[in-house]
Structure 1
Amino acid sequence: METQNPNSTTRETLHDEPRNEGMALDMDWVRAVQANTSAIERRAGTLPGRRSVKKDYQAAWLLKAITMIDLTTLAGDDTPGRVRRLCAKARQPVAPALLDALGMDTITVGAVCVYHDMVETAVNALQGSGIPVAAVSTGFPAGLSPFHLRVAEISESVKAGAEEIDIVISRRHVLTGDWQALYDEMRTFREACGDAHVKAILATGELGTLRNVARASLVCMMAGADFIKTSTGKEGVNATLPVSLVMIRAIRDYQARTGYRVGYKPAGGISKAKDALVYLSLIKDELGDRWLQPDLFRFGASSLLGDIERQLEHHVTGAYSAGYRHGLG
């Protein structure tokens, strides 16, 4: 199979894009943002049938998807052993024999995402790989701990070696329309991250309307978010195509006005290879090829990798393997 190496964005150039420095809160812009729900839902409903890739092309897209996965474990029973196994999988996400059959070099995932307590374990396990560790922070998933503790948690994770911080916003600021409070909160979180890149988790399933999602996306970008992310994965409704369309178009509008490219991370509920293909085609259609790199797009997922592996094995052998052959640890 002849295709460009999907891991062609090397770890040395990861995050080479100029960082989003943010801007002053522009309430005229925020208030002007609307969302036509029926039109958005119609467009989202057509997405699964608009693009179809088969055979070698599908395998190439799936390999690309692997390089953009934030391989995640956020369970109450996480142990150092489980995190080390996850990190081993991050280093070698696809069996060497499969990669050889596909004519590919070694690839890795985009990052490993863990709770703060597991950051040091993950950093040690990934040493020398170039794979960054992302830490969920700021009272994840509810974001209701005292504000000074949320800020301190960011600092502790950065000190422990996290290169990316996934923060959760205070949903009440969105639901009450207190955009200044959301901006100030996000700005403080951004400053606490220092050189670590910050992903703003909107918890879109708890924001009420698509207009709220659009406005929250814009405010977080104005405050300096490097990524905007749909969900914690703990809400009743996580990543969806309508929400993704709204957030992606907010990213596009922000880039057109400011010149800064902001990344996008759908998270929660994306577990099938076919779903990954839909999201990648959406990104290509709405934002263009530059966003199809791990410094500007990530999947927040764990089981997604296993299904992609099964699809790749089917492509090579013509048969589906048992799920246990592709476990994450």
Structure 2
Amino acid sequence: MSTNTTAERLATEVTSSDAAFRRFLHGLPGVDPVGLEARAASLGTRSIKTTAKEYAIDLAISMIDLTTLEGADTAGKVRSLCAKGRNPDPLDRSTPQVAAICVYPDMAGVAAEAVKGSGVKVASVATAFPAGRAALPVKLADTRDAVAAGADEIDMVIDRGAFLTGRYLDVFEEIRAVKEASGEARLKVIFETGELSTYDNIRRASWLGMLAGADFIKTSTGKVAVNATPANTLLMLEAVRDFRELTGTQVGVKPAGGIRTTKDAIKFLVLVNETVGEDWLSNEWFRFGASSLLNDLLMQRQKLSTGRYSGPDYVTVD
């Protein structure tokens, strides 16, 4: 939990009972879906000059949590992904490193050894990802195992069933317990926005996660039909902006799933710049959860550098 006294005091006050927490979360301003989607679409049409595009591409690369979360993952695949994250373009050493390598807990140790000394973080999904259907002791053991193996960051999923049936305090207490089990690792709380049904629910989940001590709030697992969108990410950016204004505590945002092209990434960076400003324009406070986005960014980066597109063998296929 944040040591900020304002955030602590607010959390204590609004979670004094189920009824108090419900009043607070349902008392948040309602979301105008049409207005939200129109604003997100409008920001996505901004034209970017070449020099700004060069900056945006490098910034986006540095914000990627390069991810492999497949049942067929092997130690060799994870080591290969780590090598790519440390040195995305072997022909151009000016290319930034990615922010983190994101893997399952049993691969956290492999990743930690492979990125040792590089500055690239190891992020591990936990708490019975992606469904989150496990007892709390299992989720906490999952988290502790990942941290013990070398994870710098934990990406947890909330219990959507509890949230959707209004058991907000249960979700709050679970996040707090996972936060404690994470120790020094930063905690990203995944809402699976595609399953929350309404924008109002996404706003409530954002505030719930931040009050419980999330270091980041994250849109999705990437394992359902609807993942990160400009609209749900804009809504979460507004939430972290308002939370900092109220409490003084800054929380990061991580859209994940479905962001595959440079054009997509730049749209999200415009959302960040226009909604929360420069304070969030670093990988300390904004991340992309992605597996294929890096390849397109590298292709576009080389196009800006040489004036031509490379062949299909210029980047590795993950």
Category of TM-score, reference length = shorter chain: over 0.9
Of residues 29, 41, 44 in structure 2, which corresponds to 1:45? 41
| Partner SS, residue 77 of structure 1 | coil
Deviations 1:226-257 (A, max 9, x none): 00000000011000111111111111111111
The size of the alignment, in residue pairs, is 306
Matched, 1:209 2:205: no
Matched, 1:24 2:19: no
Matched, 1:237 2:226: yes
**Amino acid aligned to 1:310:** M
Structure 1 residues 25, 191: CA separation in 2 closer, same or farther (over 3 Å shift)? farther
Q: Which runs of 4+ in 1 moved over 3 A?
A: 17-22
**Amino acid aligned to 1:126:** V
Of residues 55, 60, 66 in structure 2, which corresponds to 1:60? 55
With the length of structure 1 as denominator, give the TM-score of the two structures. Answer: 0.89
**Amino acid aligned to 1:29:** F
The separation in 2 between residues aligned to 1:63 and 1:42, in whole angstroms, is 28
| Partner SS, residue 112 of structure 1 | strand
| Partner SS, residue 186 of structure 1 | helix
5+ residue gaps in structure 1? 1-16, 100-104
State the identity %: 44
Q: Do 2:44 and 2:270's aligned partners in 1 also have CA atoms closer than 8 Å?
A: no
The separation in 2 between residues aligned to 1:82 and 1:252, in whole angstroms, is 38
Of residues 75, 79, 82 in structure 2, which corresponds to 1:80? 75
Q: Do 1:25 and 1:222's aligned partners in 2 also have CA atoms closer than 8 Å?
A: no
Deviations 1:83-124 (A, max 9, x none): 001000011113443x5xxxxx45211000000111110011
Structure 1 residues 159, 75: CA separation in 2 closer, same or farther (over 3 Å shift)? same
The separation in 2 between residues aligned to 1:45 and 1:285, in whole angstroms, is 13
Deviations 1:118-148 (A, max 9, x none): 1110011111112110000000000002221
The separation in 2 between residues aligned to 1:134 and 1:25, in whole angstroms, is 32
Of the structure 1 ranges 107-116 and 22-31, higher mean CA displacement relative to structure 2 is found in: 22-31
- Post-superposition shift, 1:54? 2.6
Aligned to 2:87: 92
The separation in 1 between residues aligned to 2:268 and 2:53, in whole angstroms, is 13
Aligned to 2:17: none
- Post-superposition shift, 1:19? 12
Deviations 1:141-198 (A, max 9, x none): 0000222101110011111110100000000122112211111111111111111100
5+ residue gaps in structure 2? 15-20
Residue correspondence of structure 1 range 251-262 to structure 2 within 5 A: 251-262=240-251
Aligned to 1:308: 297
The separation in 1 between residues aligned to 2:220 and 2:35, in whole angstroms, is 23
Of residues 159, 184, 190 in structure 1, which corresponds to 2:179? 190
Of residues 253, 258, 264 in structure 1, which corresponds to 2:253? 264
Structure 1 residues 152, 282: CA separation in 2 closer, same or farther (over 3 Å shift)? same
Aligned to 1:151: 140
**Amino acid aligned to 1:58:** K
| Partner SS, residue 319 of structure 1 | coil
The separation in 1 between residues aligned to 2:6 and 2:122, in whole angstroms, is 20
| Partner SS, residue 271 of structure 2 | helix
Compute the RMSD of aligned alpha carbons.
Answer: 1.8
Q: Do 2:144 and 2:181's aligned partners in 1 also have CA atoms closer than 8 Å?
A: yes
- Post-superposition shift, 1:263? 0.3
- Post-superposition shift, 1:18? 8.2
With the length of structure 2 as denominator, give the TM-score of the two structures. Answer: 0.92
The separation in 2 between residues aligned to 1:219 and 1:127, in whole angstroms, is 34
The separation in 1 between residues aligned to 2:195 and 2:6, in whole angstroms, is 26
Residue correspondence of structure 1 range 108-257 to structure 2 within 5 A: 108-257=97-246
The separation in 2 between residues aligned to 1:46 and 1:323, in whole angstroms, is 33
The separation in 2 between residues aligned to 1:327 and 1:43, in whole angstroms, is 36
